[in-house]
Structure 1
């Protein structure tokens, strides 16, 4: 797939997404798949979740004259504990590539397999605008008033993430040379829920204590089509002395039930050093052991939610209520 064709596919995907995203956003399984960004909200206390995908990827490098075919898997293990705002996670990606070099008169082939990422970390929701501002008041007389964009809608939910990259192998061709066994990764995550649209940003600083720090920006827009089908588009930029790129990503998801989602996506970039084309097929599944906190209810409440006044008794032992007598 050449440079021009990739541009056309990307803008066509964005155009189709903008035309058919009209359904209602539903809060069921909270998954990061099939994009590479994290949402701001945790999965919930007592919820265990696995998100994984299989992928095939082609890299063609015009300057170094080689081609690579990757076959691999990526996964996320997520668990909410202690509080609704806190989530622990393990992110990983393992792949095997076959490389063909064209620098000689006779091409040569080689292969390699390892983890390109294995990160253990935690995410915490710092700010939730819904809890801070409360629910919007519903205007029963005006549909326009209920659907008008409010300044509060521009204020996102904010989370922070801190993790440790683990790489205890030597000579890993999928990570920077002489990579430290343990290196830090931090992220600032924001999320806007605009009714039918969900917009997520991730600002990432990775391996910041090593010789090859990496900085990333991810922008993800997601929307439902009919409560079952959804589409998404994502842009990712990476800046590093080891590897820099701009990637476009988009795809479809299907909600099988409230705890199970399947998905597919395409990834491509806009350069040829190397050019990238990748296909993903994935799924997310949730084990929901979440329990809502018990709500304490005050006894003797009237319709207003206030305590009912004690009734007085007269000499005939009849109850007097609101100025009247009750037998």
Structure 2
């Protein structure tokens, strides 16, 4: 009887957890945008999902040169990385697959021999869930029509991030030379945050605990800052990554640019290097991001958003006075002049969440 009772309680607990997740998902409003939201060209994972029904492919070619000072080896690595992202069930939930298949040719200078390794260096599946949306409140998205400066400069409150949790698993299939002796499945957990420092700067951070339960668990962090230029098709990023494990530890820096060919298609290139010489690392990557947008929710056009913003300008339930309306119109004209000088001439632009 006691075991049967515990079984029922476990089932109730599972149901309660599922119900809680569903409630959070229905309550959260991930910031779906009319422009593709890609994790490339960096490695950092944004806090936001791609949006319900959106299918997104992010892929690139990678070349890396590694030289190990102690082992006296030289390695040339060529690989293909692929990420598939799908907005699952509701706005805040995303299903991800990430894979890197690479070929590493190693030259042992002391021995005068060579070796070649080919397999998946990364092969994992996971779910990302937005638990806190900094901009869920529409009041935080409304521009300040009285001050151009208030809309475009950094403020301390902009550091408050949106937060997502990630849970997934790594898969080592067959005799993988990159992970000898590791179990077929090992868990991975991550916290991702995202802050909009200003309309053109976005800060993303990741803290991950990877290959949990193996002989070589791994801690890592990522800090990435992206900036959109005045021509909104171009953006640039700088990223710092730290890795700590008994197998491999290093600090990496990478930087690159991305270009929007259309709202659903982006191309990018980045390069980077490590700080150690065991091994030293220099790498370059170029790729694309493309989405199939089956998102059913309709975005509010910019013009209607401006009308909503103007109509919401009430004080104590009364309409604005004539003097207040004149002041508002003058502020709008000033803002439009400033925005016109920044306009890249397109109907769409980079939209940092």
Q: What is the TM-score normalised by the length of structure 2? A: 0.72
Deviations 1:71-98 (A, max 9, x none): 1100100000211000001000000011
Q: 1:35 aligns with which of 37, 42, 46?
A: 42
In the alignment, structure 1 residue 127 sits paired with structure 2 residue 132: yes
Q: Distance in 2 between matches of 1:140 and 1:110?
A: 64
Matches within 5 A, 1:217-236: 217-225=221-229, 226-236=231-241
* DSSP-derived class of the 2:190 partner: strand
What is the CA RMSD across the aligned residues, in angstroms? 1.9
Map 1:289-300 onto structure 2 (within 5 A). 289-292=294-297
- Partner-residue secondary structure (3-state), 1:129: coil
Q: How does 1:165-184 map to 2 (within 5 A)?
A: 165-170=170-175, 172-175=176-179, 177-184=180-187
The counterpart of 2:160, out of the listed 144, 147, 155, is 155
- State the secondary structure of the residue aligned to 1:190: strand
Counterpart position of 2:108 = 101
User: Residue 139 of structure 1: CA displacement?
Assistant: 4.1
- 85 and 228 in structure 1: CA distance in 2 versus 1, 3 angstrom threshold: same
Q: Does 1:261 align with 2:272?
A: no
* 1:47 maps to 2:54: yes
| CA distance 1:91–1:67, change in 2 (3 Å) | same
Q: Which residue of 1 aligns with 2:190?
A: 187
Structure 2 portions without partners, runs of 5+: 1-32, 301-310, 313-353
**Distance of 2:81 and 2:147 partners within structure 1:** 47
Specify the SS of the correspondent of 2:140.
coil
Provide the secondary structure at the position in 2 that maps to 1:134: helix
The equivalent residue for 1:197 is 201
Runs of 4+ deviating beyond 2 Å? 132-152
CA radius of gyration, larger in: 1
Name which of 69, 79, 88 aligns with 1:81: 88
Matches of 2:183 and 2:202 in 1, distance apart? 36
Q: What is the rounded CA distance, in whole Å, between the counterparts of 1:120 and 1:137 in structure 2?
A: 36
Alignment gaps of 5+ in structure 1: 1-25, 296-303, 306-327
What's the offset of the Cα at 1:138?
4.3
Distance 1:60-1:232 versus aligned 2 partners, 3 A rule: same
Q: Aligned in 2, Cα 1:284/1:294: closer, same or farther, shift over 3 Å?
A: closer
Per the alignment, residue 338 of structure 2 pairs with none
1:68 pairs with 75, 84, 87, which one? 75
Instruction: State how far apart, in whole Å, the 2-side matches of 1:38 and 1:139 are.
Output: 30
Partner of 1:49, secondary structure, is: strand
Give, in angstroms, the shift of residue 193 of structure 1: 1.2
Greater Cα shift, 247-256 or 127-136: 127-136
Shift in Å, 1:151: 4.2
Query: Shift of the alpha carbon at 1:27?
Result: 5.8
Task: Give SS of 1:87's match.
Answer: strand
Q: Greater share of helix residues, 1 or 2?
A: 2
The CA distance in 1 between the partners of 2:234 and 2:170, in whole Å, is 34
Q: Match for residue 16 of structure 2?
A: none
Three-state SS of the structure 2 residue aligned to 1:130 is: coil
Q: Give the match for residue 282 of structure 1.
A: 287
- 1:278 counterpart SS class: strand
Once the 2 structures are TM-superposed, how far is the Cα of residue 143 of structure 1 from its aligned partner? 2.7
Aligned-residue offset at 1:293: 6.6
Contact 2:159 / 2:196 at 8 angstroms: preserved in 1? no
Question: Secondary structure of the equivalent of 1:153?
Answer: helix
Per the alignment, residue 334 of structure 2 pairs with: none
Q: Normalising by structure 1, what TM-score?
A: 0.78
Distance in 2, Cα, partners of 1:294 & 1:29: 14
Is the partner of 2:158 in helix, strand or coil?
Answer: helix
- The whole-number CA distance in structure 2 between the counterparts of 1:152 and 1:292 is 29
